Amino acid sequence: MNNFNFWNSTKIIFGAGEIASLSNEIPAGARVLITYGGGSIKKNGIFEQVTAALGHVTWFEFGGIEANPHFETCIKAVDLVKTEQIDFMLAVGGGSVIDATKFIAAASKYAGDPWDIIATFGGAVTDALPVGCVLTLAATGSEMNPTSVVTRAETQDKLFFNSEHVRPKFSILDPKTTYSLPPRQVGNGVVDSFVHVLEQYVTFPANARVQDRFAEGLLATIIEEGPKALHDPENYDVRANLMWSATMALNGLLATGTPGDWASHLIGQELTGLYGLDHGQTLAIMIPAIWTYKLEQKREKLVQYGQRVWHIQETDPNLIAQQAIELTREFFESMGVKTRLTDYGLDEKAIAEVVAKLKEHQFVALGEHGDITPEDAAEILKLAL
């Protein structure tokens, strides 16, 4: 196990009806900006619950944050923050709204060109407005981590930044908020949370037994509960287990002392930036292709995953690894998330464009060994056609 520091200061308030406790978490006299997406929270009653819970707190609203949030939209919110002297940000939505809110929180306190925040992967951030969250989609883990992913629409650059300054102060997780999710987003959320675990687990053995068992527990839970959410959307226990799994998958715990891959995320980001695919869709395409390409290096962990998570009975390690890849692909497909570039109307022309973006962003040494070059990425993308 590698050395590590672990610190996670986000307070989690979990359970049905907990939005009502919101006002306890907002400082007295705060001027709050409620941020949200394309309007789902105004149709499913979540906006009313939030505003009722805020009571006499002074609040403003900023809606229209798109999925894969745009830098350009965030900048408009920064103007509103300054005009209305906002001092607390309240994100109500999924990963896109939370990520946008983190960026707005940092950009509102940043004197220079706000794109510096992204260009320095967050290094330029020295201060931010406090952020609180009401989560409505179980997927990204953004509600309990310091990461944000923002897209500059003008240049089709989708990039992330990290800063402790934007880690949410609190997040309210009411599983009932996820009852209204469309099946496509249920599928995306299951794939995303599942892949977050895989990125930190299917690498190479690090003798991190606690982390491995945590990972296997989360994977088994998501495999069991994910399909149920599609067939029984208002099953509270199913939603609760999926929501907590998604948060635990990317809150730093699994990353302690272990190698991380993240190639599927970084190549996938380019697919979203260029062609607008959903984040979960890009991961479902990339994971089977990366594993097939890297089977030899990943074999030991693929075997562990195949035996412990999928209970594969074969004895030949290569067969176990191949079956584990196929079962993972089938699981994604069973959640309604297709696993090939061609399923989304993309062909080999996309490969050169993705590779050019990887080079432009200097993502030229990906994976847990830092050995996936843009040329390797091209080979992997061929396998994903």
CB of 329 to ligand NZQ, least distance (A): 19
- Of residues 189 and 288, the one with the C-beta less far from ligand NZQ: 189
CB of 364 to ligand NZQ, least distance (A): 20
- Indicate which of ligand NZQ, Zn ion, none lies near residue 145 (CB less than 5 to 8 Å, by partner kind): ligand NZQ
CB of 207 to ligand NZQ, least distance (A): 26
Report whether 84 contacts 60 (CB < 8 A).
Answer: yes
Among 35, 49, 68, 281, binds ligand NZQ (CB under 6 A): 68
Among 62, 94, 310, 346, binds ligand NZQ (CB under 6 A): 94
Report whether 19 contacts 49 (CB < 8 A).
Answer: yes
- Indicate which of Zn ion, ligand NZQ, none lies near residue 148 (CB less than 5 to 8 Å, by partner kind): ligand NZQ
307 binds ligand NZQ (CB under 6 A): no
Angle separating helix axes 349-360 and 374-383, nearest 10 degrees: 150
User: Can you tell me whether residue 364 is helix, strand or coil?
Assistant: coil
Query: Which two tokens mark 367?
Result: 């994976």
Cα 42 to its chain centre, rounded Å, is 23
Please give the Cα distance from 384 to 287 (Å, whole number). 9
CB of 9 to Zn ion, least distance (A): 22
Q: Which among 196, 14, 166, 194 is positioned nearest to 91, based on CA atoms?
A: 166
**DSSP alpha helices (H): ranges in 112-260?**
115-119, 183-199, 209-231, 236-249
Among 148, 258, 322, 328, binds ligand NZQ (CB under 6 A): 148
CB of 361 to ligand NZQ, least distance (A): 14
Cα 91 to its chain centre, rounded Å, is 15
Query: Which two tokens mark 147?
Result: 């990461």
- Indicate which of ligand NZQ, Zn ion, none lies near residue 221 (CB less than 5 to 8 Å, by partner kind): none
Among 10, 35, 49, 136, binds ligand NZQ (CB under 6 A): 136
Angle at 312 between CA 306 and CA 314, to 5 degrees: 110
- What number of other Cβ atoms are within 10 A of residue 55's Cβ? 10
Query: Which two tokens mark 274?
Result: 């260029």
- Indicate which of Zn ion, ligand NZQ, none lies near residue 328 (CB less than 5 to 8 Å, by partner kind): none
DSSP H or E segment with residue 77: helix 71-83
147 binds ligand NZQ (CB under 6 A): yes
- Of residues 192 and 270, the one with the C-beta less far from Zn ion: 192
Q: Which among 275, 262, 266 is positioned nearest to 341, based on CA atoms?
A: 275
- Of residues 262 and 310, the one with the C-beta less far from ligand NZQ: 262
**Footprint on residues 261-290 left by ligand NZQ (CB under 6 A):** 265, 279
Please give the Cα distance from 80 to 59 (Å, whole number). 12
Site pattern 157..196 for Zn ion (x: CB under 5 A) = -----------------------------------x----
168 binds ligand NZQ (CB under 6 A): no
- Of residues 137 and 255, the one with the C-beta less far from ligand NZQ: 137
Among 35, 40, 108, 258, binds ligand NZQ (CB under 6 A): 40
Please give the Cα distance from 359 to 279 (Å, whole number). 20
Query: Which two tokens mark 253?
Result: 């715990």
Q: Which residues bind ligand NZQ (CB under 6 A)?
A: 37-41, 44, 67-68, 93-97, 99, 136-137, 139-142, 145, 147-149, 177-178, 180-181, 185, 188-189, 192, 250, 265, 279
